[in-house]
Amino acid sequence: MMDVHNNEIVEIFLTVADLMEIKGENPFRIRAYREASRVIGDMSEQVAQMVHDDRDLTELKGIGKDLAEKIREIVTTGQLEFLESLEKEIPASLLELMKIPDLGPKKVAAMYRELGITTMEDLKKAVEAKKISALKGFGEKTEQKIFKSISRPKKEFGRRTLLIDAEPSALAYKKYLESKPGVKSVNLAGSFRRGKETIGDLDILVTCDTGREKEVMDAFVTFEEVNRIYAKGNKKSAVLLRNDLQVDIRIVPESSYGAALHYFTGSKAHNLAIRRLAVQKKYKVNEYGVFDGSRQVAGKTERDVYEALGLHYIEPELRENMGEIEAAKSGRLPALIEPGHMRGDLHMHTTRTDGRNSLSEMAEAAKALGYEYIAVTEHSRKVAMANGLDEKDLREYMARIEQVNAQIEGIEILKGIEVDILQDGGLDLPDSVLKDLDIVIGSVHYQQRFPMKQQTERIIRAMDNPYLQILGHPTGRLLNKRDPMDIDLERIIEAAKEKKVAMELNAQPDRLDLPHNYCKFAADMGVTIVLSTDAHSTENLRRMANGITEARRGWLTKEDVVNTRSLGEMREMLKR
């Protein structure tokens, strides 16, 4: 059996669903694969371990006998015969076309059947010949959007790996190397250690007993997930994993370990600024240490490196040359927020709309995490595909929340809504119901491609509503999938300050929105930040850790985030 990670199974099932949809297969079967991918993607436990333990996979919600067998096949063989058969029928290049905004499986299937389009070049020619608008269900607007998308400079969608997708392989590699004879320490460096939203490759630093270097390198290149060996030497090697993540390893002496960890953690901009500071002090800094001429004055630990340069220790998440060196000189580095500071989660969904757990289950799971309060914020009626609530539905659910609140002790469930911001800046539900809620989040889910001025004014107009307390996932970005909206975010943050609206940092790993640099800008402006998971399942509640990392990258402290406060203090801070 193979140590297949959950995200690999998810990717296989999503590819199957996309190809089945292009082929025109049964919608219920397609939906089953997508639902299974969501269930597995939410799990903290590795499904492969369940297979190893010979547990019944049908105990998982949404996993029937057929899907359970397919999961076992993936775990035991590393592949899926059904997917291979689909790829023989449907050109895999069609999946690339689906990365273009506004092109889902149905539209790609129509272009394939009617016009024989299989590649980006085919699509470009068809758009130039104005053949797309003639297809049923497309029209000139869709054709213009496609033209705009394929005419832009090529994005690096798919070329970088989401941090959360890299994490299983990274941690498994670390654990594997730590178990080898002679290995003393293993550290993950690079953008992974800095907590960057996406990473290009993975850097691993190792110290080991003298004379055991070859054994370590042999172990490194024979790790189960290695697909290709790029280079193998005595002190450094490079491989490509089966998930297309490149991994580089370096064995360094203990006397230089801190300097090497600092150097390979980066960022380049931070390291360059550190080297400039060293020159001012007549020192030289590199991956081997801090040197006064030929004499090493520091390098065994990272703290020694910073101390030798007259700096307080700088946490890895801050090393982006965003003012951290100046702050470290003067002792003004922030005391960054930590997971233990969170006292509640203010954005989540249940089975009443598009969530996968009940209200009671979400409350009990949040209580088990130590939260004092949560806000249940279902979608409003505009999000019809998620069974969004109208005013009558919402009032009925508010009554249901009160019932569950009376049944569960030790946690307070707040009545909330994630209300859609409409095209004109109005909100999707009337003030008559919004005024009776504890938490109102306003989010843009539709018409995300307005010009900057129109989109910015739309959002600012929504904040004029006195019942809107939080602007949800403000940029609308989906990492590796969708660009942020074209908005003047600084102006929106300034308006939020003026109108006393909080900004959400949405912890979903493909959102992490508000981005870290704007978290810093907002906090410096005095805007309140809400750190929430947007959880659609009990497992999703654990995604708060991803948001904490992004918050730390944005210099946020416990004081900057409203839901680190007690229930009473939080309510007071969100008052308009």
- Structural contact between residues 522 and 556, judged by C-beta atoms closer than 8 angstroms: no
287-309: pLDDT as tens digits? 999 999 999 999 999 999 999 99
Confidence of residue 1 (pLDDT cuts 50, 70, 90): low
> Which architecture does CATH list for 339-573?
Alpha-Beta Barrel (3.20)
450-473: pLDDT as tens digits? 999 999 999 999 999 999 999 999
Q: State how far the Cα of 462 lies from the Cα of 421, in Å rounded to an integer.
A: 7
User: At CA 105, angle to CA 96 and CA 506, rounded to 5?
Assistant: 80
Q: State how far the Cα of 304 lies from the Cα of 290, in Å rounded to an integer.
A: 9
Query: Tell me: domain 6-151, CATH 3.40.50.2300, correct?
Result: no
Residue 348: CB atoms within 10 A of its CB come to 28
* CATH classification code of 161-251: 3.30.460.10
Question: Amino acid letter at 194?
Answer: R
Overall pTM > 0.85: yes
Beta bridge partners of residue 557, listed in sequence order: 336
135-190: pLDDT as tens digits? 888 888 888 888 887 876 554 444 689 999 999 999 999 999 999 999 999 999 99
| CATH fold of 256-330 | Beta Polymerase; domain 3 (3.30.210)
Domain 256-330 identical in fold to domain 339-573? no
CB-based burial label for 153 (10 Å; 0-12, 13-18, 19+): exposed
Look-up of token digits 């870290």: 516
Q: State how far the Cα of 272 lies from the Cα of 274, in Å rounded to an integer.
A: 5
pLDDT at 142: 84
- Structural contact between residues 357 and 396, judged by C-beta atoms closer than 8 angstroms: no
pLDDT at 2 over 70: no
**Domain residue spans in the chain?**
6-151, 161-251, 256-330, 339-573
Name the DSSP letter for residue 561.
B
